[in-house]
Amino acid sequence: MSESRSVTVTRARHLRAMLWSVVLIAVGAMLLPLTAYIWTSAVQAQESTEQAQADGRNPRSEYWRDVRNAEAGYTAVRGQETGVLIQSRGETWREVRNGPVMILGAIMVVGMILALLAYHLTKGGAKLEHRTGRKVLRWAMSDRVLHWYTAVLFIVLAITGFSLLWGRSVLIPLLGKEGFAAWAGIAKPIHDYLALAFTAGLIVMLLKWFHHNIPASYDREWFRQAGGYFSSSHPPAGFANAGEKAYYWVLLIGGTALVISGFYLLFPNLGFERAAMQTANIVHGVSALVLTTAVVAHIYLGTLGSEGALEGMITGAVDEGWARQHHSVWLDEVQQGSGRSTHEATGRSATAPT
């Protein structure tokens, strides 16, 4: 019995030795070929390190430097800018947007408001010296509707756009993060959708009023006298004075930049690269700030800054005294019969420009 048991134990021991031998052979067959690769990689890494140290370079630093310089690598995602792991220009864009654009833009807009406030407190604006009671048609109904349509949309877009630009620094301290997040969720789609309607109105307005804003020789005199806002002088002016013409060209150039850059931002799915989107964002912000500064001055000069001016954009007609005081060349053209006759509700005869 003991001899049979001894034989069984011996056979089991031999079987285990055989199995372990097979396992070791299999593992060795898989691992031994890899040792050549490991050894080769180690030798190459050592040689690279020694070479880099000899050249005074750090291999890790060189690697990340290549990555930050947009050196092409491998990424699993396919599409626009495939292989770019880090786009360093993004940090430059962030610094410009959150630095000069935000700070200088705020200084520009607030500075214009303060300057106009100081002017109004000291000068009181341009008062209407003599009201005749005779009306002159200045703006047709289509012009007034176009003006207010575009103006209201611009104000809404400015409020929603600047709340996103200055949201972190101004609105989050006031509303809190949750409140600002709720407002941003409303402001952004409003800004995006109304941008298309504003663009249409801006294009029509710029084309329709282009002929009023061609520079004339007497515009230099208007600038020389600063429009008479700081004196009692009344420099000559056509339908649009030199200041209004300057505003028009700012609107034309700045509006073009605003619309084109907004197109980039509104349709990123068209395949624009990040660099183009970042440039468009800066151009959009700067042009919006310049236009807003100009619009602030336009609103003041069209209301409190020039008594009688707002009447024209509300009723379409202005007092003949206001026209003589601010647009003498245009009034002379009207009175010389360059338009047709019309009758106001007062029954007085007035002349409409072509």
What mean pLDDT comes out for the span 277-283? 93
- What the block records as the tokens of 201 is 């109105």
Same domain assignment for residues 294 and 218? yes
Average pLDDT, the chain: 84
The per-residue pLDDT for range 238-266, each reduced to its tens digit, is: 999 999 999 999 999 999 999 999 999 99
C-alpha 32/C-alpha 28 separation (Å) is 6
- What the block records as the tokens of 199 is 């663009």
In this structure, is residue 271 part of a structural domain?
yes
167-184 residues labelled b (16+ CB within 10 A) or e (exposed): beeebbeebeeeebeebb
With contact defined as beta carbons under 8 Å apart, do 330 and 218 qualify?
Answer: no
In this structure, is residue 175 part of a structural domain?
no
pLDDT at 15 (0 to 100)? 73
For the entire predicted model, the pTM comes to 0.74
**Is residue 352 classed as helix, strand or coil in its secondary structure?**
strand
For position 347, which CATH number holds?
1.20.950.20
Counting the structural domains of the chain, the total is 2
In this structure, is residue 306 part of a structural domain?
yes
C-alpha dihedral (299, 303, 306, 311), degrees to nearest 10: 120
- Tally: H helices and E strands in the chain: 12, 4
In this structure, is residue 86 part of a structural domain?
no
Full domain range(s) for residue 20: 2-52
In this structure, is residue 165 part of a structural domain?
no
C-beta atoms surrounding 146 within 10 Å? 18
In this structure, is residue 77 part of a structural domain?
no
Same domain assignment for residues 287 and 225? yes
- What the block records as the tokens of 178 is 């949750």
Same domain assignment for residues 319 and 244? yes
In this structure, is residue 181 part of a structural domain?
no
